[in-house]
Amino acid sequence: MVLIKPNCWSEHGELEAVLVCPPSIADVPTLKVAEDVQWSAPVQYEKAMENFLELQGVFLDAGINVLDYSNELSQEEQSLSEKLLNRFFVRDLACVFGNTILPGHPSIFMRQPEYVQAHRVFKSWFDTSFIPQEKVGIQALENGDVLVLNKDAVFINAGLRTSFESIEIIKHYIFHAGFSEVAVISLPRRGDTLHLDMNCNVANEDLVIAKEFMRHFPVRVMTEKGDRYEMAPAFLKRHGFEVYWLEEYNSVPDINYFNLDPETILLSKQAHKQMLKKHPKLARKKYIEVEVTELEKAGGGIRCMTLPLRRK
């Protein structure tokens, strides 16, 4: 058992512990192969590993406890794990709601082995804090679709990879963890809107960055007493968030950033940093740029590659 008690009540609190996993040892050699595995371009393992080590190094230099679940696998499990192309996208595997870790469940068969392996490790590490899949019983829920806004509200997308039925199941666990509202949005089911964190992200305790089109979407706000509907901007405003609407963006590097602490954003070297800094609440932030271009070819960014376990 790992001596870490999960604790996450936001997306911006000071990070104390994070889960990562290195990329597969396999190259994706051609554009044809990349397209068939739903990546944007060929990927070389050596470059991908260099990217991963740079990202991991930022956390280590900041004194953050970095966990890699693949180190806990048996030799037989390792033999499989190191060939799983998407295993470094650990965000999807689970989410910490307060002091409770709820599992994700992949919507595509290709990713099922890594969920099974990781969850087995989580069960041994976190004991009763982790609620296993066999108890929860969800069918499709990838946690790139989940934002823990604050101690009251969780924002979830029922889209291409996460089903509304699964959200209906986990909402009871989220309420039990201490949250009062779960708001569900349903974004277009396309590759460029794959997960919620490719469309919006928390950038400050009172600021969300989001693609312009999201202002036109309603959300279903679920509480223990019942449900109601309101527009997404109204929901976010009610919970204290201004929205910085983006009309132009590169989804992965510009929106899939990661909050290291309330003053520091970790982002891709491909991100349009000056665009973010145009907002007055972001102008004085510290930005740490990381070279993750090779990893981003797999379709996700830094947030996708990190699973926060503890934040202050």
Q: In whole angstroms, give the CA distance from residue 66 to residue 308.
A: 10
Give the per-residue pLDDT at 1: 59
For residue 33, count other CB atoms closer than 10 A to its CB: 15
Q: In whole angstroms, give the CA distance from residue 42 to residue 156.
A: 31
141 alpha carbon, distance to own chain's centre:
12
Q: In whole angstroms, give the CA distance from residue 88 to residue 114.
A: 9
List per-residue pLDDT tens for the chain, 312 residues long: 567 899 999 999 999 999 999 999 999 999 999 999 999 999 999 999 999 999 999 999 999 999 999 999 999 999 999 999 999 999 999 999 999 999 999 999 999 999 999 999 999 999 899 999 999 999 999 999 999 999 999 999 999 999 999 999 999 999 999 999 999 999 999 988 999 999 999 999 999 999 999 999 999 999 999 999 999 999 999 999 999 999 999 999 999 999 999 999 999 999 999 999 999 999 999 999 999 999 999 999 999 999 999 999
Identity of the amino acid at 261: D
Q: In whole angstroms, give the CA distance from residue 165 to residue 154.
A: 16
Q: In whole angstroms, give the CA distance from residue 32 to residue 29.
A: 9
Q: Classify the phi-psi angles of 63: left when phi > 0, otherwise alpha if psi is within -120 to 50, otherwise beta.
A: left
Q: In whole angstroms, give the CA distance from residue 223 to residue 152.
A: 10
Give the per-residue pLDDT at 271: 97
Give the per-residue pLDDT at 112: 97
pTM of the model: 0.96
Give the per-residue pLDDT at 91: 98
Give the tokens for residue 116. Answer: 């099974």
φ and ψ at residue 205, rounded to 5 degrees: -60, -20
Give the tokens for residue 59. Answer: 């956390």
Q: In whole angstroms, give the CA distance from residue 269 to residue 31.
A: 23
Rg over alpha carbons for the chain, rounded to the nearest Å, is: 18
φ and ψ at residue 29, rounded to 5 degrees: -80, -25
Integer angstrom CA distances of residue 122 from 100, 101, 102: 12, 9, 10
Q: Classify the phi-psi angles of 125: left when phi > 0, otherwise alpha if psi is within -120 to 50, otherwise beta.
A: alpha
Identity of the amino acid at 91: R
